[in-house]
């Protein structure tokens, strides 16, 4: 189940051709549709608070592709790191 997920990996593309990040496709590693929906909901709910261009691209992709119920995220903190 989704409760046992410890890692969500993403791969992005589009910065060289468009000048901005753009998500072209998403591949899920589980076949269970409800688990995929939970993963998308968690991802969008978390990334919605981010100012990072990759996060914005992910949110834009999923909001365009499907209706996502956004959950309130508490104690969200942006860390600016070098690297």
Q: What is the pLDDT of residue 13?
A: 52
Tell me: the pLDDT tens digits for 43-59? 899 888 888 888 898 99
Q: What is the pLDDT of residue 82?
A: 65
pTM of the predicted structure, to 2 decimals: 0.66
- Gap between the Cα atoms of 82 and 52, Å rounded: 14
Average pLDDT, the chain: 79
Q: Which residues contact 68 (CB under 8 A, 6 or more apart)?
A: 40, 41, 44, 62
Would you mind telling me the total number of residues written for the chain in this entry? 83
SS3 39: helix
In Å, how far from its chain's centre is CA 41? 8
Tell me the CA distances in angstroms from 66 to 37, 60, 81, one per residue in order: 10, 10, 32
């Amino acid at each position: 189940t989704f409760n046992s997920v410890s890692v969500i990996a993403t791969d992005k593309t589009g910065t060289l051709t468009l000048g901005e990040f753009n998500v072209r496709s998403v591949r899920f590693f589980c076949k269970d549709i409800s688990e995929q929906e939970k993963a998308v909901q968690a991802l969008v709910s978390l990334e919605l608070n981010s100012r990072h261009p990759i996060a914005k691209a992910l949110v834009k992709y999923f909001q365009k592709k499907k209706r996502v119920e956004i959950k309130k995220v508490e104690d969200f903190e942006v860390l600016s790191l070098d690297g």
